[in-house]
């Protein structure tokens, strides 16, 4: 992934590295813990754990691509031998503000799921400790780099999977909020005069029926080609949306072959299921 670096983002990164390296602790407003979807582990069967985040009112952390400021939340695992951890399966992002700068992140209560795969040779009755170090940046009235050693202990079972009732709803809600590709909408991208133009057109009967209900559309960049702090221009005409955005001044190197990111509408993209976010990877044309 190409880098997008503003002065404030560089400062945030340097500060986070300093506190992590020195072990110097500062009071951080973010509530964070490692939780599990299951109450016991089955040999060889993948299961989900997650970083449970609770942001105080007025504070936020950052999505996997933040914009021109901020640092994304990360988890550095220290797992037992032969265990595997998947990446964070990022929920749909929100617009957040670091002072007056618009970025991409999360408010409120949020769960960041990760798939864990245990080895097949686990012995029932044994208790396994999963641990790692979480890193994040929590911003509101001020910005607070944070890091914390997190762990959870789970027994190895010999029966079926038992879900933890305390977290079942949170994991159920997190999965639908991970943006998926859509066959209902076609998206094309073009580059012209320092701007990226996305054309978003309904292609199925359900999407066409819902087209008039969609009023607002935003784009969340995954590769930094777009500056989230710049205004978007949305026009609805001839049965499609035309969304125009500014290429970031911090984007370095040749333009990518595709525009990758999340399209979001508060009205939902379909009349019944109403997914708020869809993932796109549109070929970039001149």
In sequence order, the β-bridge partners of residue 36 are 49
Give the model confidence (pLDDT) of 55-76 as tens digits.
Answer: 999 999 999 999 999 999 999 9
3-state helix, strand, coil in the chain (%, to 5): 10, 45, 45
Q: How confident is the model at residue 274 (pLDDT cuts 50, 70, 90)?
A: confident
Give the model confidence (pLDDT) of 158-184 as tens digits.
Answer: 877 788 999 999 999 998 899 999 999
> Distance between CA atoms of 160 and 41, rounded to whole angstroms?
9
The conformation of residue 174, written as its DSSP 8-state character, comes to: H
> Distance between CA atoms of 221 and 239, rounded to whole angstroms?
24
* Domains observed in the chain: 7-177 (2.60.40.10), 180-285 (2.60.40)
Is the pLDDT assigned to residue 139 strictly greater than 60?
Answer: yes
Give the model confidence (pLDDT) of 256-273 as tens digits.
Answer: 999 999 999 999 999 998
Radius of gyration of the chain (CA): 21
Contact 220, 264 (CB under 8 A): yes
* pLDDT in the model for residue 36: 98
> Distance between CA atoms of 182 and 261, rounded to whole angstroms?
13
Q: How confident is the model at residue 4 (pLDDT cuts 50, 70, 90)?
A: very low
Average pLDDT, the chain: 90
């Amino acid at each position: 992934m190409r880098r997008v670096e503003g002065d404030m983002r560089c400062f945030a990164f340097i500060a986070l590295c300093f506190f992590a390296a020195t072990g110097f602790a500062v009071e951080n407003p973010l509530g964070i813990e490692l939780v599990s979807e299951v109450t016991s582990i089955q040999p060889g069967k993948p299961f989900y754990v997650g970083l449970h985040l609770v942001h105080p009112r007025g504070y936020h952390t950052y999505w996997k691509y933040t914009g021109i400021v901020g640092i994304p939340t990360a988890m550095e695992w220290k797992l037992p031998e032969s265990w595997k951890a998947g990446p964070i399966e990022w929920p749909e992002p929100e617009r957040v503000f670091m002072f007056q700068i618009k970025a991409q992140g999360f408010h409120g209560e949020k769960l960041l799921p990760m798939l864990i795969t245990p080895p097949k040779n686990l012995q029932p009755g044994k208790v396994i400790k999963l641990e790692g170090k979480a890193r994040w940046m929590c911003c509101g009235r001020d910005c607070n780099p944070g890091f914390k050693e997190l762990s959870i202990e789970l027994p190895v079972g010999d029966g079926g999977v038992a879900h933890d009732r305390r977290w079942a709803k949170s994991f159920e809600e997190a999965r639908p909020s991970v943006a998926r590709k859509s066959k209902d909408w076609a998206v094309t991208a073009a580059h012209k005069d320092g701007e990226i133009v996305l054309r978003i057109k309904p292609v199925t009967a359900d999407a066409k029926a819902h087209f008039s209900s969609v009023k607002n559309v935003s784009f969340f960049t995954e590769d930094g080609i777009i500056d989230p702090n710049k205004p978007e221009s949305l026009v609805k005409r001839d049965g499609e949306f035309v969304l125009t955005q500014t290429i970031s001044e911090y984007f370095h190197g040749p333009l990518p072959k595709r525009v990758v990111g999340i399209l979001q509408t508060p009205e939902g993209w379909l009349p019944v299921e109403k997914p708020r976010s869809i993932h796109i990877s549109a070929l970039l044309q001149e």
